[in-house]
Structure 1
Amino acid sequence: MDDQLITRFKRTGYELDARELVLKCVSLAQQFDLTAKQFAEDFETFALNRKIATGLVNGGHLDAFSNSMNHKKRKRPPTEADTLGWAGNSWNDVEPDVLSDTSNTRRSRTTPAKAAKAVVMAPSPAITNTTSSSFSQRTQKGQVFSTLNAHLHFDDEAQVQYLDGRIGDFAAAFEDATGCHPSHPVYAACQEPVLMVGRICCDSEGRLNERSVLLEGSIELSNGMRTKLDLSKLEGFKLFLGQVVVVRGINPAGACIVAHQLYTAVPKPVVQTSLGQMQHFAQATGVKGLSMVVAAGPFSSKEDAAYEPLQALLTHCTTQPPPDVLVLMGPFVDANHPLVQAGMLEESYEDVFASQVIDRLDDYLDSAGSSCHVVLVPSTWDVHHHPVFPQPPFLPEAVPTRHPQQFTLLSNPGTFACNEVVVGVVTSDVIKHLSGQEVQRGPQGDRLPSFAAHLLGQQSYYPLYPPASGSLLDCSQASNLQLPVTPDILLLPSDLNPFAKLVPVRAPPPQGADTDAGVVQTVGQKAGRQH
């Protein structure tokens, strides 16, 4: 039982580091007739109620726990068995002839000594035949009134692998960038500053704040344990749930990490384009360079399904020199459209998409010529497509076009290249979701670009966890959220105010360096290093 107790305590965040404490726990478990699992769970409940921080358990904690269990035992009301005289006896003590009656009648309970004279009581007709007429005549029998996240498939193993994998990937990227490995467990005491890596969590349900921040370590380095994170010594920070960070700090007693520095961004490298490739692209596009038009749905007004906004966009593109690339992001057949919600469309969703969107794009390509390319990105609000995130691209058979060579069907999120320019796009409103979860200290500045910077620094198109309501995140496919490279242009449709700005991302300095290096993301030119 000794090893079981030690293992169970570690899983709850507590540790028994002395042999005498383990023996004392074994004695108490036997005293209260508890298994190792029950004892550890009861101690965890006691510790949470008494606000005992996770970490090492001492003798005083066990004494207080023993007193609490004894108090509960004294307060326990007598059971029915105690009242009727069955306490301390078993069925083996009952006369065999008493148990020989196999009828369905209820038997009055007596002491074993009087069991032979027990009287078998017949059931009361008034009890067995009583039926509530209102209950039997109910009209909503078996009806489900509300279901939470019925569309989601919960896979605990996939969720654990996704979250733990993000911590491991961030730690590896940090080591590659700095030469330092953040290997110290989050729960282990240390008096000198060390590097620890983990995921930002909240100590309770609700919105994150400065006093509720926990750091959850990886399974490999920290057994997945969480420790309170003290941010009082930091001049500024920007944190959100699910963010992976490297902390430089101390943990005096093993129960609270005092952060001295936070490293929250390790961006992926940008794609390098050779001089020969640049010359080739320049000759292909000429002096005008590469042009791109980007638009996000919905593409129809709420009053009808005539798709006039989409037609106006395509008309604009034909009256001007046609763009080389037209990027259209869903929703194309919006699940929130009043006609969709009311079921008043005269065609199927797939037919609406084909006739109102694809046919118009075919007409546009007829006039724009073969040099124009269309990129389609779905949305989780597209009622004719899979409502899951990450989201697969539209199937080719769902896009009945006359110009299949001029269409690129992209996933959500997705990354594509236009000559030397790498573009990243995600139609989930990650900017809005982050704006409702971020806690920060320091100069405010322009918050919207900083939200976009989180994606680049965390190497993820959706770094927030738990995800926002309605995001439809499927952890079994979450590997598709990872940024393959740092894009030159990041497209993030949002209900918040539109913006087109540079997004600075501060990377951790290499070991021994006295200056910070950052990646500046620009629109229309290659990203470069800024010192």
Structure 2
Amino acid sequence: MSIAHNNREAIVEQFNLSSPEDDKVISECQEVCRVYNITPINLFYKWEALQFNASSKAAVSPHFNMDAVGALKAQMQRELAATSSMKKQARGGPPQRFGPGAQRPRQTLTGMANKAVSGAASSGGLKGLSAVKQESGASAGGQAAVQFVDLTPKDASRESGSSWIGVWTKLRVDRYMFESLNERGNALDGMLDELALVIKEHYNLDDISDPSLSTEGTVTTVGRIAEDWESASTSDLKLLPATMVIEPSRGTGSGVRVPLRFADDVRVRGAPKGAGGIGVFPGAVVGLRGKNGGGDWFLVEEMLAMPPLKPPVKSSIPSAAPSMAIACGPYTAAADLDFKPWKNLLSRLIAERPKVVLLIGPFIDLNHGQMRDGNIDKSLDEMFEDIFLNPIVREFLATCSDSTVLLLPSVLDAISSYAVFPQAPFELGAHHPRIHLLANPSTFSLNGTTIAASSVDVLFHLGKQEHFFEIPEASDEAPPSGDEVKSDPTARRCRHLLQQRSFYPIYPVPPEVSNHVNLDLTHRRALKTDDSAGVAREIFITPSQLWQFCKMVDSTLFINPGQVMKGSYALGQLGQTLDFELKKLD
């Protein structure tokens, strides 16, 4: 089947053109798609934008006919001319200043990446480059080669239709901020149905009941914990039992929220041994056993904790254990843009020569006072080039000829084109072969060691939202735990990320931190912390403003490297035994 035929079918479907009189309109649309090299779906988006343009409503026909095609072609020509003018201005114009009222620019960074690499090559900095993945297992100097494999799901496309029947499309991939209420509802339902199946299989449940239906006997339901905003006080900062509701999926209970009441002798089943209870928060998926006697609320007699992930197992043992450094922004003090902490870190990295360096944003923080006031004298891409890219290429990579640098962005990064979470990688274009650009969040492996990493401070957010029920265990058969969860809230919150199978399990995002997350649930596949077999990652990197730590939680090593501006980073060894420690900058 030809491309033209496929385009014709797509145009007919998108614009609902079915009558014989529409043949000329369809042919004209095919020609527009060919000339402007766009797909029918993108042509339809442009038509929608033209309709919603306030200045054009009076001039554009509400029906898609030849007049509408003409108006659409004229608008596309104006956009093309404006884009060409902006490119010319960017090549020859003066440095821009960005103040509080300025729009966030879209950065491609391609030119500066090429310039940094070519500059390093001219100074001899690219001599002796080794491939990141080497079959021999050795590199220059006799040290271990680093085998990098990106494990981040590639199907982070938007969902269409009912998520429980697995209808997936690749429409609008990476077209962020196009999320509709229906898409978000389908994504939430899909996440809930997947976790409900995990609970059903783990606890050998025959059925999952609707909590809104009156029952005489005890039933089991699964849903998402939420807060009844009408009952909650505006001064309440945390979730409280009196305002909790359970929200089942639309397939189980039509999505109707049911208030919860807790029996005096309520117990927990499936919590780690010694936990002393269970923690919940808005968005947490839990199983509940109890009954609805009158239809107004559900009486909880037993809470079922989310089952743990399968422990990670190494498929092969590397020939050597490469060293790895982990650092997280901000990289400059709050009072200036001198980036002295970053320069100190770079000097330390050159001296320590780790095989892998993971740098996590924000690199140029939008919330920095100098940035908000517009007190900068160069463009954002020039700042990133001068402060980060050039020193990484010309100083660190030129000195450490077989090291690898991983760059992971932040929602608060001024140089990122995507201000939502999940977040696409930086757009460096052609860049240094030993610099890898990661999505946020990201999962990858280094010499067979699986790693999950994100820049969102989810632990701090969980600490503000979690309510811990101090209740006894329903049986003595609790899963073992390597730490005392009751006395260690940090370990308990780390465990939430594993059990809920999500980099950000809180929903909705707390209003006071919503601009730090900008959660886009229609890319929910990119939020999964486990692999397709339900196996946990060996290392989980979760930067936080909380006190830095390295902590083993359920066979996964959690690392909070702290912030470079506070003089903290992490350094350790990968391999069969993971050995990391927190380091201080001078």
TM-score, length of structure 2 as denominator length? 0.56
Distance in 2, Cα, partners of 1:448 & 1:315: 32
Shift of residue 480 of structure 1? 1.8
Distance in 2, Cα, partners of 1:389 & 1:379: 9
CA contact (8 A) 2:287 2:306 kept: no
5+ long unaligned stretches in structure 1: 1-144, 146-150, 505-518
Distance 1:294 1:366, change over 3 A: closer
CA contact (8 A) 1:242 1:466 kept: yes
Q: Which residue of 1 aligns with 2:523?
A: 477
Q: Which residue of 1 aligns with 2:495?
A: 453
The answer to whether the aligner puts 1:387 opposite 2:437 as a matched pair is no
Structure 1 residue identity aligned to 2:242: R
Shift of residue 464 of structure 1? 0.3
Q: 1:256 aligns with which of 297, 312, 319?
A: 297
1:313-324 to 2 correspondences below 5 Å: 313-320=345-352, 322-324=353-355
Distance in 1, Cα, partners of 2:241 & 2:209: 23
1:123-272 to 2 correspondences below 5 Å: 155-204=180-229, 205=232, 206=234, 207-232=238-263, 233-235=265-267, 236-272=277-313
CA contact (8 A) 1:488 1:525 kept: no
Shift of residue 454 of structure 1? 0.7
Q: 2:547 aligns with which of 489, 494, 497?
A: 497
Q: 1:329 aligns with which of 353, 360, 370?
A: 360
Shift of residue 191 of structure 1? 2.9
Structure 1 residue identity aligned to 2:329: G
State the SS of the aligned residue for 1:451.
Answer: helix
Distance in 2, Cα, partners of 1:435 & 1:349: 34
Distance 1:383 1:164, change over 3 A: same
1:202-230 superposed Cα distances (whole Å, 9 cap, x missing partner): 11255420111111111111111121222
Distance in 1, Cα, partners of 2:251 & 2:281: 23
Q: Which residue of 1 aligns with 2:111?
A: none
Distance 1:290 1:265, change over 3 A: farther
Q: Which residue of 1 aligns with 2:385?
A: 354
Distance in 2, Cα, partners of 1:172 & 1:220: 13
Q: Which residue of 1 aligns with 2:436?
A: 408
Point out the more displaced range, 298-307 or 417-426: 298-307
1:272-311 to 2 correspondences below 5 Å: 272-274=313-315, 277-278=316-317, 281=318, 283=319, 285=320, 289-311=321-343
Distance in 2, Cα, partners of 1:176 & 1:418: 33
The answer to whether the aligner puts 1:436 opposite 2:477 as a matched pair is no
Distance in 1, Cα, partners of 2:359 & 2:556: 26
State the SS of the aligned residue for 1:300.
Answer: coil
Structure 2 residue identity aligned to 1:290: P
Distance in 1, Cα, partners of 2:550 & 2:557: 11
Q: How many residue pairs align between the two structures?
A: 351
The answer to whether the aligner puts 1:374 opposite 2:405 as a matched pair is yes
Distance in 2, Cα, partners of 1:484 & 1:396: 28
State the SS of the aligned residue for 1:292.
Answer: strand
Shift of residue 444 of structure 1? 4.6
CA contact (8 A) 1:298 1:330 kept: yes
CA contact (8 A) 1:459 1:483 kept: yes
Shift of residue 154 of structure 1? 5.4
Distance in 1, Cα, partners of 2:183 & 2:311: 29
Shift of residue 350 of structure 1? 1.2
CA contact (8 A) 1:323 1:372 kept: yes
Q: Which residue of 2 aligns with 1:121?
A: none
State the SS of the aligned residue for 1:436.
Answer: helix
Distance in 2, Cα, partners of 1:359 & 1:419: 27
1:416-475 superposed Cα distances (whole Å, 9 cap, x missing partner): 111232111111111111111111122851112211111111000000001123221123
CA contact (8 A) 2:541 2:558 kept: no
Cα RMSD after superposing both structures: 2.5
Point out the more displaced range, 185-194 or 387-396: 185-194
Distance 1:463 1:525, change over 3 A: farther
Structure 2 residue identity aligned to 1:339: Q
Shift of residue 297 of structure 1? 0.4
Distance in 1, Cα, partners of 2:183 & 2:433: 36
Larger Rg: 1
Structure 1 residue identity aligned to 2:305: T
Structure 1 residue identity aligned to 2:400: G
1:104-153 superposed Cα distances (whole Å, 9 cap, x missing partner): xxxxxxxxxxxxxxxxxxxxxxxxxxxxxxxxxxxxxxxxx9xxxxx965
Q: Which residue of 2 aligns with 1:463?
A: 505
State the SS of the aligned residue for 1:249.
Answer: strand
Higher RCO by CA contacts (8 Å cutoff, separation 6 or greater):
2
Shift of residue 410 of structure 1? 0.8
CA contact (8 A) 1:215 1:226 kept: yes
Distance in 2, Cα, partners of 1:200 & 1:318: 48
1:164-213 superposed Cα distances (whole Å, 9 cap, x missing partner): 11110101222343443552111122333322110001112554201111
CA contact (8 A) 1:186 1:227 kept: yes
Distance in 1, Cα, partners of 2:215 & 2:309: 31
TM-score, length of structure 1 as denominator length? 0.62
Shift of residue 363 of structure 1? 2.4
Point out the more displaced range, 468-477 or 340-349: 468-477
State the SS of the aligned residue for 1:335.
Answer: coil
Structure 2 residue identity aligned to 1:224: G
Shift of residue 323 of structure 1? 1.2
Shift of residue 255 of structure 1? 2.9
1:62-101 to 2 correspondences below 5 Å: none
Identity among equivalent pairs (%): 27
Q: 2:445 aligns with which of 414, 417, 420?
A: 417
CA contact (8 A) 2:538 2:556 kept: no
Distance in 2, Cα, partners of 1:242 & 1:258: 20
Distance 1:365 1:455, change over 3 A: same
Q: Which residue of 1 aligns with 2:34?
A: none
Distance 1:191 1:368, change over 3 A: farther
Point out the more displaced range, 371-380 or 205-214: 205-214
Q: Which residue of 2 aligns with 1:50?
A: none
Distance in 2, Cα, partners of 1:424 & 1:188: 41
